[in-house]
């Protein structure tokens, strides 16, 4: 995120500590719900600042979060989201890309370490690394499941936690199982790359992530 958003985020984190634990929990649910809304991070933090101050002001006069915000937090969030300018299509795509890149980098590094382990065990040849169909499908599946899990957590911020946790567990387990199956059964080679080239890819993706992160919001 850019400097302006970073400064506001820091300010909000500081202000939030002044709230009671109960109000902090409400604010956390609200912020989590807003995170997947199609609005910029800066707008999200602006709203977070407003709500934090509303809650602090309320607590100063003895009102709890329900008295300040109302009974239906989700309806409140939806009303707020409706009044904020939505991100453009381009910004949404770039934001989604920015959000998925760190996970992609981690997956690629894990994959590289795995190939190095295979080389050390004498299974794979050096320095050529074979990318299989299963590697690609498994990686894409893991990224999709991770994104779906984050979206699910955010969109159900106000739901009963036990039910959400159970659904989340099923989603993550099914995704991991499918990815492992893809890696195990789909061994057809897709392409062969030099280790040096393979090492550049996560570095390049990380650079793109940093670039997007600095530009967006």
Partner 1 sequence: MQNTKERGAAGVIPSQMLKGTLEGCILAVLSCAPTYGYEITEQLAQYGFGPIAEGTIYPLLLRLEKNGLAQAEYRASEVGPKRKYYALTDKGRAELQNFLASYRELTAAVDRLLTDTGGIAP
156 phi, psi to nearest 5 deg: -110, 30
Q: Closest CB to partner 1 among 13 and 18? A: 18
Nearest CA to 74 among 38, 30, 35?
A: 30
For partner 1, the binding residue among 84, 109, 180, 193 (CB under 8 A) is 84
Q: Closest CB to partner 1 among 3 and 83? A: 83
At 130 the three-state DSSP class reads strand
Contact 118, 124 (CB under 8 A): yes
Task: Report DSSP state, residue 127.
Answer: S
CB of 21 to partner 1, least distance (A): 18
Q: Closest CB to partner 1 among 56 and 164? A: 56
Name the segment binding partner 1 (CB under 8 A); options: 80-88, 113-121, 138-146, 171-179.
Answer: 80-88
- Helix, strand, coil shares, percent, the chain, to 5: 75, 5, 20
Q: Closest CB to partner 1 among 48 and 98? A: 48
Bond into 127 cis (ω within 30): yes
Draw the binding track, 145-174, toward partner 1 (x: CB under 8 A; -: no contact).
------------------------------
Residue 116 CA from chain centroid, whole number:
28
CB of 23 to partner 1, least distance (A): 13
Q: Closest CB to partner 1 among 80 and 179? A: 80
Contacts of residue 189, defined as CB under 8 A and 6 or more positions apart, other chains included, come to: 130, 131, 132, 133
Which parts of 37-76 interact with partner 1 (CB under 8 A)? Answer: 50-54, 56-61, 67-72, 75-76
Nearest CA to 149 among 180, 166, 172?
A: 172
Dihedral sign for Cα 189, 195, 200, 202, please.
positive
Q: Closest CB to partner 1 among 86 and 114? A: 86
For partner 1, the binding residue among 21, 62, 83, 160 (CB under 8 A) is 83
Interface with partner 1 (CB under 8 A): 15, 18, 50-54, 56-61, 67-72, 75-76, 79-80, 82-85
């Amino acid at each position: 995120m850019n400097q302006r958003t970073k400064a506001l985020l820091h300010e909000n984190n500081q202000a939030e500590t002044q709230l009671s634990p109960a109000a902090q929990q409400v604010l956390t649910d609200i912020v989590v719900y807003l995170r997947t809304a199609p609005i910029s991070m800066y707008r999200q933090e602006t709203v977070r600042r407003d709500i934090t101050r509303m809650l602090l002001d309320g607590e100063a006069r003895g009102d709890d979060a329900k008295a300040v915000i109302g009974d239906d937090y989700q309806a409140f969030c939806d009303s707020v989201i409706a009044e904020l300018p939505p991100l453009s299509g381009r910004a949404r795509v770039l934001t989604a890309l920015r959000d998925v890149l760190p996970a992609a980098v981690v997956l690629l590094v894990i994959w590289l370490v795995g190939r190095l382990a295979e080389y050390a065990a004498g299974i794979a040849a050096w320095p050529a690394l074979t990318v299989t169909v299963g590697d690609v499908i498994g990686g894409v599946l893991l990224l999709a499941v991770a994104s779906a899990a984050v979206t699910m957590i955010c969109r159900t911020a106000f739901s009963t936690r036990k039910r959400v946790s159970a659904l989340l567990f099923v989603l993550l387990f099914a995704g991991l199982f499918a990815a492992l199956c893809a890696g195990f059964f789909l061994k057809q080679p897709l392409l062969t790359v030099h280790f040096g080239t393979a090492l550049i890819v996560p570095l390049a993706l990380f650079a793109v992530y940093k670039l997007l992160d600095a530009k967006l919001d």
